[in-house]
Structure 1
Amino acid sequence: MRIQFLRNATLLLEWNNKKILVDPMLGAKSSMDPVANAANSIRNPTTDLPINEEALNSMLASLDAIIVTHTHRDHWDVAAQTLLPKDLPLFCQPEDVEIITAQGFTQVIPIVTAATWNNIRITRTGGQHGTGEIGKKMAPVSGFVMKDEQVTLYIAGDTIWCEEVTTAMDLHQPDYVVVNAGAAQFLQGDPITMTAADVINTIQHPAHSKVIAVHMEAINHCYLTREALAAAVAAQNLTAIIPAPGEWIDA
């Protein structure tokens, strides 16, 4: 299994000779309005994809499946809805089946608890996309644990450090955890994705998973940068994988 980080939460997994695209945000730089009620009005995405149009089309033509953790536009944008083949197996949380089916996708597979595809067990996990009333409004969100005989990957999704994350790590003991950092925040309320402290808590969890931190420097209300996160982790004498856009991670 290996992972290519593309941008924000978008990942390409190569696993058991299959290609799986996770949380595709495929639009060009500045193609979406900014997130409202933020500290700036920069249009989204704030960066381009790290691959050109030809490479993107080639990747899309080679896909075997899609995973969408939730349908917020920085994980499932109009470009993805338009460009992706409509007949691919698409795994999602049950709450999003109707939305995605209405967009023309014909193999939408809800993960209520777990399912097996291509000898990969996919188990849905919970999360908290913020605290208080904001967290309730941002819900529902899911993560997914993917496991075969050799490796276990936990894609936590849009969540802060919370009981649902610790429970998933305790239960599944993942080799790798992908966390959505960026410390996304509105003008009111607490962060709705992981802060540097949340990432550090994930690294220090007794499961001893290798932590891959993404979801930075692509959306206007994400203020934690890759550089700042790396410095915070290093200050605790810890390590994390903080990939640059386009970078491959070999498991």
Structure 2
Amino acid sequence: MQHSTVATLILSLAVGAAAQAATPGASTQPVQIQQIRNATAKINYGGKTFLLDPFLAKKGRYPGFEGTFNSSLRNPLVELPMPVKTIMNGVDAVIVSHTHLDHWDGGDHQHIPKAIPLFVQDEKDAKLIRDQGFTNVRILGEQTVFEGVQLSKTGGQHGTDEMYAKKPLAEALGKAMGIVFQAPGAKTVYVMGDTLWRTGVDQALAKFKPDLILMNAGDARMIGYAGSIIMGKDDVLRAYQQMPNATIIATHMDAINHMTLSRKELKEHVRQHGIQDRVRIPADGEVLKF
């Protein structure tokens, strides 16, 4: 009887520990997010290191995006905050939310290993990257698991309805996914991606209830069209109000010609609305730990 009681107690403790680890908000695994430049970030999550949207070119390598604000400026506008070798150190997998140049210039250099696990949104992007010589390209789905980390694809829209009503522009804007990171004992991270605030965003927020929201907030603009093609300062405020338990990390600023919102301007907006407690605006190279 005594042996049975001890065994039962051990089993009970083990089950309780597992349940605690699986409980949302029960954070026992630290999350680290390093802002690199533009939308490029290094995310340490669930014991793995992911490189998000690697745009690794030297300052001024490419012309500005035609048909966008400040297209006379060459991209990127600033240098990387560290050597590419340092950025790539320890990376287990790469995630490319879409293949616009400012999120993926991997075909133009040899910095990223050709055999590294690399996740994309669909077969079209997979083909493009495979044709660039990458051999381990995988399509991210709603429940993709990579070495204990669950990655979930979410929806969005990379521009206004007016823009998508014009076929050539709609094809140029294309599709862009968001990504949710989940693992037992870790805070849930939602990378919104290049999107406006659309139904897919609300659905992701309601379903996953993220603790950390990585938002592309540079308010990028096209010439001749009202509205933006990604989020801006009002969306940062909206996320703060709609998700009272989440921390918002604003990025995708100060590096590409068509961004119209700077970190400095967003910091002032955040200060005016008194939302500094849950909004982070990291500088290039800055590391955030949660």
TM-score (norm 2): 0.82
Distance 1:110 1:207, change over 3 A: farther
Q: Which residue of 1 aligns with 2:182?
A: 147
CA contact (8 A) 2:107 2:132 kept: no
Q: Which residue of 1 aligns with 2:232?
A: 195
CA contact (8 A) 2:40 2:52 kept: yes
For 2:108 and 2:98, the matched residues in 1 are separated by 13
Q: Which residue of 2 aligns with 1:173?
A: 209
Whether 1:248 aligns to 2:276 is no
CA contact (8 A) 2:54 2:106 kept: no
Count of aligned pairs: 248
Percentage of identical aligned residues: 36
Task: Give per-residue Cα distances to partners, 1:120-166, cap 9 Å, x unaligned.
Answer: 11000001111024243312110000111121100010011222111
For 1:183 and 1:21, the matched residues in 2 are separated by 23
Shift of 1:79: 6.3
For 1:206 and 1:99, the matched residues in 2 are separated by 36
Equivalence map 1:84-99=2 (5 Å): 84-94=112-122, 95-99=124-128
CA contact (8 A) 1:169 1:207 kept: no
- Coordinate RMSD, CA, aligned: 1.5
Q: Which residue of 2 aligns with 1:77?
A: 105
For 1:234 and 1:162, the matched residues in 2 are separated by 26
Task: Give per-residue Cα distances to partners, 1:83-142, cap 9 Å, x unaligned.
Answer: 200111111101311111111111111013221112111000001111024243312110
For 2:47 and 2:200, the matched residues in 1 are separated by 31
Q: Name which of structure 1's ranges 57-66 and 196-205 shifts more when overlaid on structure 2.
A: 57-66
Equivalence map 1:8-19=2 (5 Å): 8-19=38-49
Q: Which residue of 2 aligns with 1:230?
A: 267
Shift of 1:233: 1.8
Question: In structure 1, the residue corresponding to 2:85 is in which secondary structure?
Answer: helix
For 1:81 and 1:156, the matched residues in 2 are separated by 27
Q: Which residue of 1 aligns with 2:14?
A: none
Q: Name which of structure 1's ranges 133-142 and 225-234 shifts more when overlaid on structure 2.
A: 133-142
Whether 1:131 aligns to 2:160 is yes
For 1:119 and 1:10, the matched residues in 2 are separated by 23
Shift of 1:207: 5.4
Distance 1:5 1:206, change over 3 A: closer
Residue identity in the other structure for 1:152: T
Q: Which residue of 1 aligns with 2:7?
A: none
**Which one has a larger percent helix, Structure 1 or Structure 2?**
2
Distance 1:74 1:84, change over 3 A: same
Q: Which residue of 2 aligns with 1:116?
A: 145
For 1:103 and 1:134, the matched residues in 2 are separated by 29
Whether 1:206 aligns to 2:243 is yes
Shift of 1:81: 5.2
Unaligned runs of 5+ in 1: none
Shift of 1:206: 3.4
Distance 1:42 1:203, change over 3 A: same
Rg bigger for which structure? 2
Runs of 4+ residues deviating >4 angstroms? 78-81
Task: Give per-residue Cα distances to partners, 1:53-84, cap 9 Å, x unaligned.
Answer: xxx21432432100000000000014665320
Unaligned runs of 5+ in 2: 1-30, 165-169
TM-score (norm 1): 0.94
